[in-house]
């Protein structure tokens, strides 16, 4: 039977960019005999409008059951004043939490045609292809104790960086597996010089390395990592780091490559009975209310997220390469949505026209 895919297009430009992915999925079925069992449901504000919650229990159950979830974007001004418990983002957080998606994969890949877009010099980023693996379900964003309380008549804000060996290890395995499929180089980043969790992190990663002797492992303090990412990003292949450092380093790496409209991501969990990891794929960008409903959104981040699904959930690495090559080619030929245009201007392609160009 065909692999199953649950599409949650969400809000704002989510459904617009997802329409282009659906056309590409159709193309794979027709031209490559690569069929998917696709179902669709609501998430975020769209789910709130229909059900009063940002993710219905039935949708959650479906997400647990499929080979991969592909999500567009959630949120928008219409929902900004909702109670925290039903905010659109909570739908996303529930999916991540209940599917236990602990490894967040953020590639930073520079398409040559867009190298001028980087905030760095062209030769520093041309041909860049790195992958940051961020631990997503633990660390300082979740650690207890936390809160704001009074001490000596002063308010004190407290968060706790806390990692178990098991949490560090499972993310490290995901990162080493990825490194094996890529350039066989892994750099682990922490602050072992000043943090206990960093000492444990370095220790556990070194231990897991014994199972992946072919991978060249290095360790770097995360602050130096930030410097190196901007100074000479091509020295890296896969980077493995914690939730907080990963949040910052992946946003930094992303901007090496240009527009938010180009950035995909994947979040992976433990293997299911069929051997595939629990997985959700989504563009890094949000629902872009400023351009929603105008057919201006760049669909490439969402299409590249589907390419990641082909590679990491469906064992279709060759087809993923083809899809990425098609995108590379239309960019080289000069196809640009508005977000990819410099001050010199020109007429941008619409979302659908960019989809047409890629399908062409």
Active site (catalytic) residues: 141, 191, 223, 247, 251
Beta carbons within 10 angstroms of residue 309's beta carbon: 26
Closest CA to 92 of 265, 296, 307, 299: 265
Q: Which helix (H) or strand (E) holds 198?
A: helix 196-209
Q: CB of 262: closest distance to ligand NAI in angstroms?
A: 8
Closest CA to 135 of 184, 97, 101, 108: 101
Q: CB of 277: closest distance to ligand NAI in angstroms?
A: 20
Q: CB of 110: closest distance to ligand NAI in angstroms?
A: 18
> How many residues at the interface with ligand NAI, by CB under 6 A?
22
Here's the x/- map for ligand NAI, 268-307, by CB under 6 A: it reads as --------------x--xxxxxxx-----xx--x------
d(CA 184, CA 204): 19
Q: Which does 247 bind (CB under 5 to 8 A by kind): ligand NAI, Mg ion, none?
A: Mg ion
Q: Which does 301 bind (CB under 5 to 8 A by kind): ligand NAI, Mg ion, none?
A: ligand NAI
SS3 105: strand
Closest CA to 208 of 165, 244, 238: 165
Q: What is the DSSP string of 139-189?
A: GGGT-SS-EEEEETTEEEEE------HHHHHHHHHHHHHHHHHTTSEEEEE
Q: Binding of ligand NAI at residue 260 (CB under 6 A)?
A: yes
Q: Which does 76 bind (CB under 5 to 8 A by kind): ligand NAI, Mg ion, none?
A: ligand NAI
Q: Binding of ligand NAI at residue 339 (CB under 6 A)?
A: yes
CB nearer to Mg ion: pick between 112 and 251: 251
d(CA 191, CA 219): 10
E-strand spans in 249-320? 264-271, 277-283
What does the DSSP 8-state code read for residue 260?
Answer: G
Beta carbons within 10 angstroms of residue 41's beta carbon: 19
d(CA 19, CA 299): 9
Could you give the C-alpha distances from 358 to 21, 296, 324, 328, in angstroms and in order?
A: 11, 16, 10, 9
CB nearer to ligand NAI: pick between 204 and 301: 301
Q: Which does 101 bind (CB under 5 to 8 A by kind): Mg ion, ligand NAI, none?
A: none
d(CA 320, CA 322): 5
Q: CB of 83: closest distance to ligand NAI in angstroms?
A: 15
Q: Which does 339 bind (CB under 5 to 8 A by kind): ligand NAI, Mg ion, none?
A: ligand NAI
From 70-78, 156-164, 249-257, 316-324, span contacting ligand NAI (CB under 6 A): 70-78
CB nearer to ligand NAI: pick between 26 and 295: 295
CB nearer to ligand NAI: pick between 25 and 291: 291
CB nearer to Mg ion: pick between 305 and 316: 305
Q: Which does 292 bind (CB under 5 to 8 A by kind): Mg ion, ligand NAI, none?
A: none
Q: CB of 2: closest distance to Mg ion in angstroms?
A: 34
Q: Which helix (H) or strand (E) holds 306?
A: helix 300-312
Interface contacts to Mg ion, rule CB under 5 A: 247, 251
Q: Which does 172 bind (CB under 5 to 8 A by kind): Mg ion, ligand NAI, none?
A: none
d(CA 296, CA 301): 14
Q: Binding of ligand NAI at residue 244 (CB under 6 A)?
A: no
Q: CB of 294: closest distance to ligand NAI in angstroms?
A: 10
CB nearer to ligand NAI: pick between 247 and 339: 339
User: Which chain residues interact with ligand NAI by CB under 6 A?
Assistant: 13, 17, 73-76, 89, 92, 260-261, 282, 285-291, 297-298, 301, 339
């Amino acid at each position: 039977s065909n692999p199953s895919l649950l599409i949650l297009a969400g809000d704002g430009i989510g459904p617009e960019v997802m329409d282009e992915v659906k056309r590409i999925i159709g193309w794979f079925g027709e031209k490559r005999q690569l069929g998917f069992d696709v179902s669709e449901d609501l998430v975020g504000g769209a789910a709130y409008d229909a059900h009063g919650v940002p993710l219905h229990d039935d949708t959650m159950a479906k997400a647990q059951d499929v080979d991969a979830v592909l999500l567009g974007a959630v949120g928008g001004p219409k929902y900004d004043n909702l109670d925290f418990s039903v905010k659109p983002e909570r739908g996303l957080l529930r999916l991540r939490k209940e599917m236990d998606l602990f490894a967040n994969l953020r590639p930073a890949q520079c398409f040559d045609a867009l190298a001028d877009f980087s905030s760095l010099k062209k030769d520093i980023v041309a041909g860049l292809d790195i992958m940051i693996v961020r631990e997503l379900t633990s660390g300082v964003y979740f650690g207890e104790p936390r809160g704001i309380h009074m001490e000596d008549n002063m308010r004190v804000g407290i968060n706790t960086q806390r990692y178990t060996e098991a949490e560090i290890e499972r993310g490290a395995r995901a990162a080493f597996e990825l490194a094996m499929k890529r350039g066989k180089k892994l750099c682990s980043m922490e602050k072992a010089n000043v943090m206990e969790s960093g000492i444990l992190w370095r220790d556990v990663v070194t231990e897991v390395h014994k199972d992946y002797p072919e991978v060249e492992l290095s360790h770097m303090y995360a602050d130096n990592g930030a410097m190196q990412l901007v100074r000479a990003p091509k020295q890296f292949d896969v980077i493995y780091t914690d939730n907080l450092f990963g949040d910052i380093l992946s946003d930094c790496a992303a901007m090496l490559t240009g527009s938010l409209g180009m950035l995909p991501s994947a979040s992976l969990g433990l293997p299911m009975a069929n051997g595939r990891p629990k997985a959700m794929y989504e563009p890094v960008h949000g629902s872009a209310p400023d351009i929603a409903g105008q057919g201006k959104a760049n669909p490439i981040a969402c299409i590249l997220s589907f390419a990641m699904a082909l590679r990491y959930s469906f064992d279709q690495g060759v087809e993923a390469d083809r899809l990425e090559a098609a995108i590379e080619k239309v960019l080289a030929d000069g196809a640009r949505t508005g977000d990819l245009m410099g001050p010199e201007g020109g007429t941008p392609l619409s979302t659908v026209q960019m989809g047409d160009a890629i399908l062409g």
